Each structure stands twice: as structure tokens, then as C-alpha cells.
Amino acid sequence: MTDSNRIPHTGYFDRFGGRYSPEVLIPALDTLAQAFEEARNDPAFWQEFNRHALEYIGRPTPLLHAQRASESLGGAQIYIKLEGLANTGAHKINNALGQILLAKRLKKSRIIAETGAGQHGAATAAMCARFGIPCRVYMGRTDWRRQYPNVYYMERFGAEVVPVDSGSKTLKDAVNEALRDWAESFLDTHYIIGSALGPHPFPTMVREFQSIIGRELIDQLATKNIAPSHIIASVGGGSNALGIFYPYLHGLAQETLDSSLQNAKLEKYLQSVEHPLLLGVEAGGNETGHASRMNGRATEGIVQGYKSFFLSDENGQLLPTHSIAAGLDYPGIGPELASWGDVGKVMFDSATDEETLEALDFFAQREGLVFALESAHAAAAAIKIAPTLDTHQSIVIHMSGRGDKDLFIAAAHLQPEPWAEFLRRELDDLEPHNKHSAVPGDSE
């Protein structure tokens, strides 16, 4: 391949990316970049990665034909890549696995992470439990509150979850806090960043570990003899979108020596089909705000160690954002996805909070699937696109996560009364004066 975007040793994707880091972190980033290069060229590394992917994550995740949903919309056949069936409920575990294996190579004895929706935190905490490494996760206070089920799981996995009270108390503030920690602790600590952002080598590394999704998808499409017209993924920092778009952007002759899929067969398929439109769906939010960066609303800037598009004011200060999905309200976008968007190889749309909730209900009612609120943004875009296509065409939605974590948010919108009643009952049971009589067999 001659694509200049491949193997960006400098960490640049055209003019985006780079390594704009405080001096103190440069040695840590150099060491990490070198370890990553060595690992990606080491078959033993990929053998171990693939073994855990199979046995622990549950790969490959299925590709489902959503027949009732397709019929109901009366257009294209809808296929859904069920990444939410991965252990811990989302794509984030692929990257957590790859990075913890790197941390082991680097002999790090402590892991830190940031998290927004809690999926990356839960994935990292789970990997740390499995490898017996202490773990601290930074989480903006707003996200800590709204995604508390994932806080619970992180703590059950033995992680320390630290709420962050600075700024907007969301993902970007958690990233700041994790970077601050890492600047003081990198000698014994690895920072597992959760999306394809930050200073080099993080964006390349995260994309590399997530690209297993796209390679698997190509395998599944080739087997079913399907050439979709669209592949649709939600976009926070960009890791699930890059992961599934990867083969169409870079081809399959990947830098990794991952031989779990038969590349020759897949290359043949890729060359024989017309490439689909790759569509990233951002948070359209509501009247109070959004996080749509790629439709001309964001400007170029350098934040959190990399150059990309950011929602910022005329003084370069980041603007407040809003999304019903905690994983999508980040004001920037990972540099590689920004570069593909800039040259029109990835297109962008947005879905509002309301459209997202409608999409959640649509697929629950027709397919018995509960999308994560993040992924339901992609589903919302698919609901608009499918009826404009013929029934012999097909589209793929990336269900990057499942919505267990969103029960408290979704239920409060979709069935507020019964949900409020349930919460009142639960609270009553938790009250100390009720606790005694709640013990089974203790009634007078």
C-alpha cells in the first residue's frame, strides 16, 4: 500500500495528530511507542491477544440480519454487528486487552484509565482483575452519577473509581486528570486511554487494537456474500468507528501479524466489491447543546496532546457540550478520524437525543436488542437511511455497546411512572427502618 496515512511513525494523519505533550511525558511516550512497534511485529503478542479475544471477550461477535426491523422500514436489509455482546458490554475491551498486554511487556505494576460512559473503565477494570494489577479510573462527576451502574461494576472488579469535579465534570476532564496522574507515575504506571485520541502513539495503538472488529466484519460479509452500501457507527473520540471502518480505509494487509483471519480470502472480497459509504454519527444533543464536530462547527486546535477538530470559542477555549450518551459528549475528535473526514472518505451526520431514544425503542421492539445510547445514534441514522434504499441493498449498523448501563436513563424517559414507582420501592427497602423486616423469614 502506498497510502501515506499508514504506519504513522510520527503520529500524524495528514496534518492531524502528533505529540503535543508536556516535556515530562516524552520519555514515557517514546518508551510506549517503541514497545508498541515491537509488539505489533511479534507473532507471540498477537497469539496471546487472539487467545484472550476468543476465550475472554467472546470474539468473534455476531453479525445479525435484523429482519423485522428491515421489513418494518421497507428498504435496505439491516445488518447489525453485535459488538455489545463482547464481555463487559462494548468494544472498549478490545483496546483494554491490547494495552494491558503491552503494560505487561513494559513491566508496569499499576494501571490508570479515564472513562465517560463507564464502558472503557469497566473493560479496563475487568482486565486488571484478570491480570491482578491495581487499577484507578478517573470519571467526571456528571458521568459518575449518570452511569453509576458501571461505577458499581468497576468497583466490584476491584478498581478505585475517582470522580473528577473540574470543568464540565465529563470525559475531557477525566482525560486531563488521568494525564496529570500519568505525568507523576509513568515509571510504574501505564495509562490505558480509551479512545483513538491523545498524543502519539495512543491514537494508532487504539485503532490497531479496535480494528479486529472491521476485519471480522469483512470476514462475515464475505461469507454471507454481502456488499453493504453503508457502514454506520457512532463517534465519540472515534475508536469504534475507526475499528469497524478500518479495512475500507487501510486495506487488510495490516501492519499486525494477526493471522486469525484468512487475509487472502478477505482481500479478494474487498477488491471485488464497491466500497460502502462510511458514516460516523455524532451527538446532535438537544436545545441545550450537542457534540457535532465534523459538520463545520468545530475548528482546528491542539488539546490533550494532539491536533484535531475541537468545539471551541474564538479564544480557543473548549465549549460546553451535551449528549444523552455520556460516551459522545467529548468536544474533540480523534485525529485519524478527523483526517479521513477532512478528505471526505468518512462522512458525518448527527442524531438528536430524541431520535436516539426512538431508535433504542425501535430495535428493542422489533429485534429484542438493547443498544447502548452511544450506539443508538448509529441506529437512528440507519432508520433514516434504510427506507431510501432498495430491498436488495444492505447497510451495517455498528452496535458498539449494549444498553444495560443506560437502564436508569432510558427507563426514566421511556416509562417514567412505573420506573419512578420501582425506584421508590427500592429506596424504601434500603431505608434502615425497613431493612430489619426485609430479612427473609423475619416477619412477626
Ligand X SMILES: Cc1ncc(COP(=O)(O)O)c(C=O)c1O
Give catalytic residues, as residue numbers: 92, 114, 400
Site residues (CB under 6 A) for ligand X, limited to 189-218:
195
Cβ proximity to ligand X, 63 vs 93, nearer residue: 93
Closest approach of Cβ 367 to ligand X, in Å? 17
Q: Does 238 bind ligand X (CB under 6 A)?
A: yes
269 and 221 Cβ atoms separated by less than 8 Å: yes
Cβ proximity to ligand X, 60 vs 203, nearer residue: 203
Alpha carbons 113 and 98: distance in angstroms, whole number: 14
Site residues (CB under 6 A) for ligand X, limited to 373-392:
374-375
Which residues, including other chains, have CB under 8 Å from residue 172's CB and lie 6 or more apart?
Answer: 140, 303, 304, 318, 330, 331, 332
Closest approach of Cβ 431 to ligand X, in Å? 33
Cβ proximity to ligand X, 228 vs 334, nearer residue: 334
Determine the residue type at 214: G
The number of C-alpha atoms within 13 Å of 33 and in the hemisphere containing its C-beta is 19
357 and 410 Cβ atoms separated by less than 8 Å: yes
Residue 141 CA: distances (Å) to CA of 34, 151, 166, 171: 35, 11, 9, 9
Question: With CB under 6 A, what is the number of residues at the site for ligand X?
Answer: 21
Residue 140 CA: distances (Å) to CA of 109, 148, 152, 174, 246: 25, 11, 15, 5, 30
Closest approach of Cβ 168 to ligand X, in Å? 16
C-beta neighbour count of 355 within 10 angstroms? 19
Closest approach of Cβ 118 to ligand X, in Å? 7
Member of 117, 213, 346, 379 binding ligand X (CB under 6 A): 117
Member of 21, 94, 99, 119 binding ligand X (CB under 6 A): 119
Interacting span for ligand X (CB under 6 A) from 237-245, 302-310, 316-324, 422-430: 237-245
Helix orientation angle between 26-40 and 202-210, rounded to the nearest 10 degrees: 30
Closest approach of Cβ 212 to ligand X, in Å? 14
Residues at the contact surface with ligand X, assessed by CB under 6 A = 90, 116-117, 119-120, 195, 234-241, 327-328, 372, 374-375, 400-401
